[in-house]
Amino acid sequence: MDNSYDLLLFLKKQDLIEEHLEYWWPNNNDFEILIGAILTQNTKWVNVEKSLGNLKKLDLLSLEALSQADLPLLIEAITPSGFKNQKSVRLIKLAKNILEEFSSFENFKENVTRDWLLSQKGIGQETADAILCYSCHQEYMVIDSYTNRLLKRFGYEFDSYCDIQTWIVYGINENYDKIAKLYGYEISLNKLYARFHGKIVEFMKRNPKG
Ligand X SMILES: Cn1cnc2c(N)nc[n+](C)c21
Q: Give contact residues for ligand X (rule: CB under 6 A).
A: 25-26, 40, 45, 201
> Could you tell me if 175 and 71 are in contact, meaning their C-beta atoms sit under 8 angstroms apart?
no
**Can you tell me the distance from the alpha carbon of 170 to that of 184, in angstroms, rounded to the nearest whole number?**
21
Q: Could you please report the per-residue DSSP string of 88-130?
A: HHHHHHHHHHHHHHHSSHHHHHHH--HHHHHTSTT--HHHHHH
Minimum Å gap between C-beta 78 and ligand X is 15
Q: Residues 6 or more apart from 96 whose CB is under 8 A from it? A: 67
Q: Which is closer to ligand X, CB of 40 or CB of 190?
A: 40
Which residue's Cβ lies closest to ligand X?
A: 45
Q: Which is closer to ligand X, CB of 145 or CB of 177?
A: 145
Cα 186 to Cα 96, 152, 177, 183: the distances in Å are 38, 30, 9, 8
Q: Which is closer to ligand X, CB of 74 or CB of 201?
A: 201
Minimum Å gap between C-beta 133 and ligand X is 11
Minimum Å gap between C-beta 45 and ligand X is 4
**CA proximity to 161, closest of 150, 174, 148:** 148
Minimum Å gap between C-beta 142 and ligand X is 9
Q: Which is closer to ligand X, CB of 24 or CB of 108?
A: 24
